[in-house]
Amino acid sequence: MDLLIKNCRIVDETKDMQGDIYIKDGKIAHYGENINVECNTIDGTGLLAMPSFIDMHAHFRDPGYTYKEDLYTGSKSALKGGYTFVNLMANTNPVCSNMDIVEYVLNKSKELDLIDIHQTVSITKDFDGKTLDHLDQIDNRVKFISDDGMGVQSNLTMYKAMLKAREKGLIIIAHEEDEEIVAIDTRLSENVMTLRDIYLSSLTGGRLHLAHVSTKESIEAIRRGKKEGIKISCEVTPHHVALYSNDYRVNPPIREKEDVEALIEGIMDGTVDAIATDHAPHSLDDKKRGAPGISGLETAFSICYTSLVRTNIISLNRLSQLMSATPGKLMGINKGKIKEGYDGDIVLVDLDKKLIVRGEEFVSKGKNTPFEGMEFYGKVMATFRKGELKYNGGIKVDNR
């Protein structure tokens, strides 16, 4: 699929320029000024072209909970938000503890041909908190293991899991929650487990990625760990960066203003590696029963651009790094930069166009959002995967 995007502002983690992008056979063949090729052409005047976004952390509920979301609606939701690659968590039904479920997800995704997907396998078999034998059966299509949604409570099990992760070249995505403490103090619950796992990573050499970091103490612990050379990375979510003192049900909870300030400081100084959505769609009935989670793929860029870039906290380059380049690097994929030879995965954004959040208009089955009715700048106008238009929010294609 050949595509030429003309006269756009081109931004990734290192560049900010005016020009054109030529995609040939699904790869970025060239970018620069005055590129002229006879192929499908889009006039990008007034639009921003970035590498499409990559989500380190999402839930598509397939198999087992498809009344909340499925691979089709999740993928369409991702495309509307500018994402062409997502990493799915293992808390499906059955729990993704074997390659049969990985193959089911990957094969179904390939048939849909909408976005690219990585399927995470559980750290412990069926989330039982202790069994690790199934990890010996996974192949190199799996790069991450996680018990996200629960967290590994046993110190010994997590220690052994770190050793296994190091042996197999896996990254552990850790949900930091001490179940004995959480009912008393959610902050202490996150902080205790964060400190434990950073120490275990240091001790074993196992790669650790800390999911949805939300407290000032956890960010400081990660900062210290990185300075000590420990192999750790971390993500924050748009809702933990943009909201505070808000009782919308999510896990970990939306924190206080001082925590938001600490997360933003971590974004500014490089402690934070990625912004991940933790896209967690639920039915209306499940939310009424207290299910924690936010449907976040369709609003993530607009929230982050408005909260972080329009306020002059960070540059667009840094936002692209957080949402595309570093997630792509952590996943080991050929996406996340506008660079010759990289996949032609591009998102076109109108930075001046406002997005008014209305859950009922989400493509996702999950309409759950704490941002209902809020206005944000930066609307996704088109998403391309390997040069093919997969989401069109109102652009015209000149079929030359």
Active-site residues: which are they?
A: 278
Q: What does the block give as tokens for 120?
A: 């995470």
Give the pair of three-digit tokens for residue 106: 């990957």
Place of tokens 């209305």: 358
Phi/psi for 248 (5° steps) reads -60, 135
Would you call 351 helix, strand, or coil by DSSP?
A: strand
In whole angstroms, give the CA distance from residue 309 to residue 59: 27
User: Is 38 exposed, middle or buried, given 0-12, 13-18 or 19+ CB atoms closer than 10 A?
Assistant: exposed
Q: What are phi and psi of 143, to 5 degrees?
A: -115, -20
For 201, the token pair is 């990573």
What is the DSSP track for 207-237? EEEE-S---HHHHHHHHHHHHTT--EEEEE-
| Helix orientation angle between 71-80 and 99-112, rounded to the nearest 10 degrees | 60
- Residue 392's beta-bridge partner residues? 382
What is the β-pairing status of strands 232-236 and 207-210? parallel
Backbone angles phi, psi at 195, to 5 degrees: -60, -40
CA of 259: how far to CAs of 134, 154, 210, 333, in Å? 37, 27, 16, 32
Helix (H, G, I), strand (E, B) or coil at 356: strand
Cα dihedral 379/384/389/392 (nearest 10)? -10
Contact (Cβ atoms closer than 8 angstroms) between residue 247 and residue 186: no
Amino acid letter, residue 186: T
Backbone angles phi, psi at 303, to 5 degrees: -65, -45
Minimal CA–CA distance to 63: which of 114, 24, 17, 98? 98
Radius of gyration of the chain (CA): 20
- For residue 191 the two structure tokens come to 């902080």
